[in-house]
Structure 1
Amino acid sequence: MNAPLHSASPHLLLSDDLERQVMHWLGAARTFRDAEEFASIEAWRSVEREIGSPLRKQMHRIVEELISLGEATAELIRRSRTQSSLTPRAVAGVQRFRRRYGQVDTTLDFLGDAVNSRTSPKIRGALGALDRMAKASMLPVLSEARIACPPVLVYQDKGTGASILRAGVRLWTPGAVMPVAAIKIVRHNLYRPTSLFHETGHQVAHLTGWAASVEAAIGRALASDPPLRRMWQPWASEIAADVYAFLHTGFASIAALYDVVGDARTILTWRLGDPHPIGWLRTLFGCAMSRIAFGERGPWNAMEAAMLAHFPASRADETLQPLLARSRAQITGIARACLDAPVPALGGRPMSAVLEPDRVSPRALAELERLGGAALWTSPAWRALEGIRLVALAGLREAETPSEASGWIERARGWLTAQPERA
């Protein structure tokens, strides 16, 4: 009779298998010590120190904690060879280590992909410029509120809408928090990046308590219509971010937003659980803000009329139509309430007390265009001083003159991708 293939005891066989497993995952974890496993050295070098340093420190910490966990698990397996009572703990330890490896892998992959989206000198130049503008968009408010402004890492990705992973939120790895604000900018809006300021608006609203204040303001504006109030209040966080983008880039933010929400399949749809307002109402809201801030006459009227003609409320679900009609009737009051909503961290003053909308009115942007002339799009000084208003100006002109959109996009591409001068 042939001898058994494995003559070792079941206990030792299990210990051998546990050791094999843990050493595989531990070996893989040790490769994480090299940040170039996740992003190229050129991409890392393109990230400014205040962004790259906290990211690398966070990555280093969670990797070393993972490796320590793996080494402790390997030691537990070694001890279990002679102390069989430790075997259940060793089995559980291997499973825990495998799960933690997956969590760390997901975290590092996200951070690495964000950095590694800087795939060429031009893209690195554009994203670096957006890093700086994103921070510049938060500084006036947070400085006034005496709140530290987080660094920002902007990365490029596919899709139609931007997003943010706020600084301070918990990451996939237990105990790890995001050290910077990571903002996704999508390719079609890379050179018309008004959505960048919607996302920094989310960060600022979180830090200042503004979103809850906007929700309360909506509640007061719609106090006489409880069903409408219940519809609008859950959208407060996204509405606050829309207001923030508008205060930075004016009508350009509304035109860019409509290009995203103007999908015939969804613009008149109320999706259960979606924190974003119905696209149709979101556009009306933006046009109403434009009239309040800039006057009754302007390109916002043509956009609103075109949307109403192309997407009449009668195309919505019958149960939704009355809510759309009543919202439209009250849209100016809703917009005014949101613009005037007090910011707790600003002592109850509205956001517009720090970010004056008149700075991005068509009149003010035309004056900027006149003062800067051709140098506006080539001068590093203008780029550093008025980068956000240049986004507002290019977006406004693109919306006003669709036949020249390609030219405006190329102009924006030129100044956004220009490398900053080094001291």
Structure 2
Amino acid sequence: MSAVQSLDHALVVADLQRQVAHWLAAARTFRDAEEFASLAAWKSVERDIGAPLRQQLHAIVEELIALGEASNALIAKARRDPSLLSQAASSVQRFRRRYVQVDTTLDFLGDAVNSRTNPTLCAALSTLDRLAVASMAPVLQRAGKPVPRALVYQDKGTGASILRAGIRLWVPGAIMPVAAIKIVRHNLYRPTSLFHETGHQVAHLTGWVPAMRDALARALADDAQLQAMWTPWASEIAADVHAFLLTGYASVAALYDVVGDSRTILQWPIGDPHPIGWLRTALGCAFSRLCFGANGPWVHLQRAMQAHHPVSNAEASVQPLLARSMAAMPRIAAACLSAPVPALKGRPMTDVLDPRRVSPEALAQLERSAGPALWTSAHWRNTDGIRIVALAGLREAEHPETAPAWIDRARAWLTHEVRVA
């Protein structure tokens, strides 16, 4: 090796060593979970949620540090053996890329946990954690599937989302140990969207989406264009059905508040897995008519939507599809509610989640039988928490003049400790 080559080799080795020192020092800070979420926030997460999260994060971080230390060791060998220099440089690049993947993972989970630093918000999100699990348990237990734990967090935007338990994280080989569910501020105290997101988890574990797609295809077999339009929406429709079966009309009204933007409600973006907002709302109203009767607030909601957002406002190419979809809506709704669930031995989801339990009459009976204790009792919170969400959402939707009072009541119920009945 010439003197020039020797100098270049030494400079490259030193540069690689400097890079690894920087990224390794940063990686070691990840060993402290409080680097990305406060101690108070971690303590607020129940043990059966926080423990598996911390274990997964610990494993991810230790693997990252081990990768950095292996790169460092290889650089030391390359200092003595120039033939290893290229291998050492590649190792450093792998370490840098893995660092970014780990950082992305920790940042996401840290932000989710850290959204609980406010005591009031912490109380609400902890309640929603339990309701999320309760919403998945009946179907998954009947199907013989494990029920994931849930970590609900608040974030910006208008719509909720889920990072399903069992999904691969940004770091290769890392699996999400709990379901992380985003709920947005405007729906925090009317959280029917939570049950749409847990519906995605349930659908994934039970094989419901392909069956829903097949049911839609059969219902629309006489109209190839509608069939091609509706079947790609099966995943989001399944999640909407799940939310409806758990919270009834409250889920339909809450959904309309999200999709009712005049700029987008009649649009059909290419590749969007969600139904056109106008049709999605109409489908929810059709569920209500099928399950609860021809008269109810869902009739008024649909009429108001059609008056405010007439089909004529849609693009000319979409208008015929909207009109034909509306004509087919009763059979589309029936197909969605009766779609077989493979993990339930081909029985529909309604076999486990009976929509009659969240009809306006059933919720009124719950309200009468429990009385004021419905909003203060630990017993009612634990046994009928989801139906309480359904009741509050129904009352808010059907009586706009008293909606603020119902919103305040729901907020107090979600955030305050209750006495034991």
TM-score w.r.t. the length of structure 1 is 0.97
Q: Distance in 1 between matches of 2:418 and 2:181?
A: 21
Aligned-residue offset at 1:420: 6.3
Moved more, 289-298 or 114-123: 114-123
Q: Select 2:72's aligned residue among 74, 78, 82.
A: 74
Q: Check conservation: 2:27, 2:65, Cα contact below 8 A.
A: yes
Q: Distance in 2 between matches of 1:160 and 1:53?
A: 30
Q: State yes or no: 1:229 paired with 2:227.
A: yes
Deviations 1:276-304 (A, max 9, x none): 00000001000000000000010000000
Q: Check conservation: 2:377, 2:419, Cα contact below 8 A.
A: no
Deviations 1:191-250 (A, max 9, x none): 000000000000000000001111000000000000100000000000000000000000
Aligned-residue offset at 1:418: 1.6
Q: Select 2:21's aligned residue among 20, 23, 26.
A: 23
Q: Distance in 2 between matches of 1:405 and 1:65?
A: 52
SS at 2:80's partner residue?
Answer: coil
SS at 1:271's partner residue?
Answer: coil
Aligned AA (1:302): H
SS at 1:183's partner residue?
Answer: strand
Q: Check conservation: 2:377, 2:418, Cα contact below 8 A.
A: no
Q: State yes or no: 1:45 paired with 2:43.
A: yes
User: What's the Cα RMSD here?
Assistant: 1.2
Aligned-residue offset at 1:8: 7.2
Partner of 1:259: 257
Deviations 1:123-164 (A, max 9, x none): 111000000000000100000000001111000001000000
Aligned AA (1:69): L
Deviations 1:37-65 (A, max 9, x none): 11111111111111101100000000000
Q: State yes or no: 1:108 paired with 2:106.
A: yes
Aligned-residue offset at 1:419: 3.2
Aligned AA (2:96): R
Cα 1:319–1:237, aligned 2, differ >3 Å: closer, same or farther?
same
Partner of 1:122: 120
Q: Distance in 2 between matches of 1:31 and 1:405?
A: 48
Q: Check conservation: 2:376, 2:418, Cα contact below 8 A.
A: no
Partner of 2:236: 238
Deviations 1:148-187 (A, max 9, x none): 0111100000100000000111111111111110000000
Partner of 1:285: 283
Partner of 2:160: 162
Partner of 1:362: 360
Q: Distance in 1 between matches of 2:301 and 2:373?
A: 31
Aligned-residue offset at 1:119: 2.2
Q: Distance in 2 between matches of 1:206 and 1:144?
A: 15
Q: Distance in 1 between matches of 2:156 and 2:353?
A: 31
Q: Distance in 1 between matches of 2:356 and 2:118?
A: 37
SS at 1:164's partner residue?
Answer: strand
Partner of 2:339: 341
Q: Distance in 2 between matches of 1:320 and 1:348?
A: 34
Q: Distance in 1 between matches of 2:419 and 2:105?
A: 33
Deviations 1:98-122 (A, max 9, x none): 0000000000110110000112111
Moved more, 70-79 or 118-127: 118-127
Q: Distance in 2 between matches of 1:415 and 1:307?
A: 31
Q: Distance in 2 between matches of 1:14 and 1:421?
A: 67
Q: Check conservation: 2:252, 2:281, Cα contact below 8 A.
A: yes
Deviations 1:341-391 (A, max 9, x none): 010000111000000000000000000111111111111211111110010
Q: Distance in 2 between matches of 1:421 and 1:231?
A: 50
SS at 2:269's partner residue?
Answer: coil
SS at 1:138's partner residue?
Answer: helix
Counterparts of 1:12-411 in structure 2 under 5 Å?
Answer: 12-411=10-409
Aligned AA (2:163): L
Q: Distance in 1 between matches of 2:99 and 2:412?
A: 42
Partner of 1:3: none
SS at 2:154's partner residue?
Answer: strand
Aligned length: 417
Aligned AA (2:193): S
Q: Distance in 2 between matches of 1:7 and 1:149?
A: 61
TM-score w.r.t. the length of structure 2 is 0.98
Unaligned runs of 5+ in 2: none
Unaligned runs of 5+ in 1: 1-5
Q: Distance in 1 between matches of 2:401 and 2:33?
A: 45
Cα 1:378–1:92, aligned 2, differ >3 Å: closer, same or farther?
same
Q: Select 2:8's aligned residue among 7, 10, 32.
A: 10
Q: Distance in 1 between matches of 2:413 and 2:314?
A: 42
Cα 1:405–1:88, aligned 2, differ >3 Å: closer, same or farther?
same
Q: Check conservation: 2:291, 2:356, Cα contact below 8 A.
A: yes
Aligned AA (2:162): I
Moved more, 254-263 or 371-380: 371-380
Identity %: 68
Aligned-residue offset at 1:407: 0.8
Q: Distance in 1 between matches of 2:60 and 2:177?
A: 13
Q: Distance in 2 between matches of 1:28 and 1:118?
A: 25
Q: Distance in 1 between matches of 2:38 and 2:401?
A: 39
Q: Distance in 2 between matches of 1:170 and 1:420?
A: 38
